[in-house]
Every structure is written in C-alpha cells, then in structure tokens.
Amino acid sequence: MTTPLALRRRHFLGILGAVAATCASPGLAWAAQTLRIVVGTDPGGTLDVSARAFATLLKDYRGDAAIEVENDGGGGGRFALSAAFEAKGSPDLISFVPGSMIYGALSDDELSSQFAAVQFLGSLGRDQRVLFVTERAGVKSFAELLASQNAITVPTPRATSSSHFETLLTNAVSGSRIKPVGGYGSAGRKVAIMSGEVNAALGSYDTFSDLVADGTLMPILALNAPIAGSALADLPVLSSFANTETKRQILDIMTAAAESDQMVIVPPDIDAVSFAALEAGFVACAPKVTDALRATSGNGSALPVDTAALRQTISAIFSERELYAKVLKSAVACGAALSDGQACVL
C-alpha cells in the first residue's frame, strides 16, 4: 500500500525533476552568509515541496551559495512569519507562509503588526477554493442549497483555519447555512466525509480532487474566480452575491488569501540593493517552480499570480486594517448566526 508520505516524496521528486533547468543569474552580488529559507508548515506539504524546489533553483541562481531550508510549522505559519519580522534588515532569510495567515493577521493585533512590516516577494501558487457536497447532502447545486431548509456540515481543523473562516464568510456573503465542525486534521477531514459524519467540504480543489474523481464529492461553488480552462470554470462564483460594499470587502480578504496561497516574504527594512537581488531571484526562479507544479498536478492551481497586483491588494487591506478587521469580525459573527439557523444580513 502506498502511504501519504510516499506519495508526497514521489510528488517532491517529480517537482525536482521538472525544475532541473537552472535559473540564469545576471551576476548580482550576493551576501556571503548562508541564506535561510524558513517554511511555515511541516515537511511534506505543498508549501514545503514548493519551497524546496525553489531553494534548489535559487542555489544555482546565486552561484551555489549556501542555502538551508528549515521547517517551522508552529502557529499555522506564525513562527515563520515571526522569523522574518525578527530578522529586520537582514537579506539572508526568506520565509514561506500560507496565504491563510491573512485571516489570522486581521484577527490578531500582534500578528497584524508583523504581517504589515515584512516585505512581500510574491506567491508560488494560487489556490482554487471550492465548496463541495456529498450525495447525502441532498442538493446538487448551490442554488438548491440556498433553497434548502437543511444545513450542511463541513469538517475544519480549528477555529483559526482558513476553511473555518471561509465557511462562515460564505454564509455571510450568500446567506447559506453551512456549519463548520472543528477538530479534523487533513486526513481526518476525508475520513469524516467518507464515513458520513459530515456531508460537505470546503477548501482547496487539490486537497479533495481524489474524492471528486471517485464521485464522493461534487463541487458546487467557487469561492474565488476559477482559473480559466480548469475543471471549475463553469461553477457559480461567490462574487456574484457581493451586492454590498461590506460583502465586496469580505471577498477582498478571501481572494487575497487564496491568491497568495504560497506566500514568499522577507524581513523588513532590507536595503534596496539586497531586496532587488532577492526579488530578481524570485522573478527568475518562481515561474519554473509553478510550471513544474502545474505539470505534476495537472489542474493549473500553481499558475503564477500577478505579483504587483497582489502586493497592492494586500497592502491596501493592511493600510486599512482597522476597517477590514472590523468587517471580518462582523462577517464571522453573521456567518455563525446563519449556520445556527438565525437571521443575519450584511
């Protein structure tokens, strides 16, 4: 029997093979110190695979300068963010953090101050966030779900996870009744779905693509705009329900978190020359990683995003952090009320 770890290792080796071509460096000067790459997840996950593939390319780009990759998945990426924040002024550290950190940063003042201070290089992947249902849910479309009097349940890891936030935010935007049930890890969520403990799922298309393929799950709503040409291109999109300014602000947050799925950040206050060198390395090597991820996954989820536009969106959200934090808090409360069958309109 092939274990999940063996599958991840095979996937990682496939990525390394696909990125075997080197990145050509324009001869920029690099600091002599070892470059640390801190990954805000445990080994073997998608973010870790991407970070290590990127490190392989960047090592050649830097002229075989020393690069060390370390994992620190504490706090759902919080420790990797803190590592970048605390290395203020240093050009010798890069952190990879999940885009879901945006939810935490808007909910936590200390995290927000760190997030607003670090510098954003870009993202190696764009997530496709989707609502799925099982046959037991008794609905075959999102329109049927909205018309139904019955709530559906989705498994989530914890109250600070992106799927928990997104469940409640989907309720707040659309008026749906989706109830998050916490305490499930990544493997536990699939077991809960297959055993009938829950009747829906919300999250990355990559995560649940196997259950879609075998007919266990059916996608009924895209939370962010699907990638053109993907299997999700014909799904209804949550943005069609954003008929108020508050709902549009909620979607700003959800879209930024999804499109910065594999966020790459560096410490605050790096000198301009060093930052330019790091940015040039990212621009040269990131497309090779995203192309390889797309080739191995086959669904286009790793397509490069518009870094300039994403940087502007994130900057706008955190320059108006008080407003967006208030919107997020009220939307979560509204979504929770709806999940319990109470009335709430934003």
- How far apart (Å, rounded) are the C-alpha atoms in residues 154 and 166? 11
Look at residues 159, 238, 247, 167 and name the one whose alpha carbon lies nearest to residue 201.
167
pLDDT tens digits along 277-311: 999 999 888 888 877 776 665 554 555 567 788 88
* Alpha helix segments (H runs only) across the chain: 4-18, 46-61, 78-86, 101-107, 109-117, 142-147, 162-174, 186-195, 205-213, 245-259, 272-297, 307-319, 321-339
Tell me, what's the pLDDT at 64? 65
pLDDT of 6 reads: 42
Q: How far apart are CA 61 and CA 278, in angstroms?
A: 11
DSSP codes joined into one string, 85-152: HHTTT-SSEEEEEETTHHHHHHH-HHHHHHHHHSEEEEES----EEEEE-GGG--SSHHHHHH-SS-E
CATH number assigned to the domain covering 148-251+325-339:
3.40.190
Q: What pLDDT digit, counting tens, does each position of 308-340 carry?
A: 888 888 888 988 999 999 999 999 999 999 999
Asked: is 4-127+256-314 a CATH 3.30.565.10 domain? The reply is no
Residue ranges covered by each domain of the chain:
4-127+256-314, 148-251+325-339
Q: Which residues of the chain have pLDDT under 70?
A: 1-22, 24-32, 64, 294-305
- CA geometry: angle 56, 60, 61, nearest 5 deg: 110
Q: Do 4-127+256-314 and 148-251+325-339 share a fold?
A: yes
pLDDT at 146 (0 to 100): 95
Nearest to 86 by CA among 52, 106, 55, 113: 113
Which is nearest to 123 in space by CA: 306, 267, 251?
306
Per-residue model confidence (pLDDT) at position 327:
96
Q: Model's pTM, two decimal places?
A: 0.85
Work out whether the CA dihedral 333, 335, 341, 342 comes out positive or negative.
Answer: positive
Q: 201 CB contacts (<8 Å, ≥6 apart)?
A: 131, 132, 154, 155, 189, 193, 208, 211, 217
Instruction: Give me the pLDDT at residue 270, please.
Output: 95
The pair of structure tokens assigned to 6 is 């063996």
User: Strand 152-155 relative to strand 67-71: parallel, antiparallel, unpaired?
Assistant: unpaired
CA 56, CA 19: separation in Å to the nearest integer? Answer: 8
